[in-house]
Structure 1
Amino acid sequence: MGRELGKGMARPGDMLFGRRTWQDFVTAWGRSTDGNPFTAHMNAATKYVVSRSLEDADAWRNSILLRGDAADTVAGLKAQPGNDLSIIGSASLVRSLHAAGLIDRYTLLIHPLTLGSGSRLFEGPAPLTEFELIGSVTTGKGVIIADYIRR
């Protein structure tokens, strides 16, 4: 799984976070100096944080706070020239951006287990969206990593 995820991180790109996920990642990755290649990638990447309540994004270097409505703010960011954006976690942000038609590609990690509860990735109002599977890999532990693009 690490090898496959590393391929995605090897491509240039910026990261997009919701407030809660960004705050969790600051704790886990932002202060780490463990030599892990994911740490180096995330610390070097530009990180956009969509939040109405966060006062600043100074706790993790290369972080930029985006205030206001997530769909409007991200649509403006996507309209500018620059790197691709990727989202890790941030389910409520993904839902709002999906509903606005702003997500072009999904990489889903499907783990062979059931939790019994939790939030769904696609819940609430969202437009009918068709995707095309462009690649998949199954890890030795049975995790399916599936890449989809919007049709």
Structure 2
Amino acid sequence: MARVVGIDHLVIRVSDFEKSKAFYQKLFTFLGFEILGDYEDAIGWTNGQTRFWIGQADAEGRKRPYRIGDVGFHHYAFELRSRADVDELQAFLRKEGVEIVDPAGEYYEDYYAVFFLDPDGLKLEGMKYGEATGENPAKP
């Protein structure tokens, strides 16, 4: 039987490639990612375990803004090493003027996270689960 061993990459389309490229470059530099490939119409970053790519949306896609609640992407969560890393990410986001939609806090039992938006309003999350209990049921 086939088994998934991880998420290799995510690709999103953006309305303003240069603006999003600058946003994600700052974010991924802060998070320890490096550029994987940089092309005229796409750029990707990696931390050695996962890859995140952006590319320019086509003309039809740029006609309507993204809205959380539409069919499709809801949010993407970056698992961080600790709650302190979540707090550091929030401080970085505030310094950069990034819109934080839900500040760092405990959203579920032993689930600590900060939620924020990219330039197109795509929801992103930095989170740490299981630090207080030493458990993380999502991990083998």
Which structure's residues are more often helix, by fraction? 1
TM over 0.5: no
If the length of structure 2 is used for normalisation, what is the TM-score? 0.29
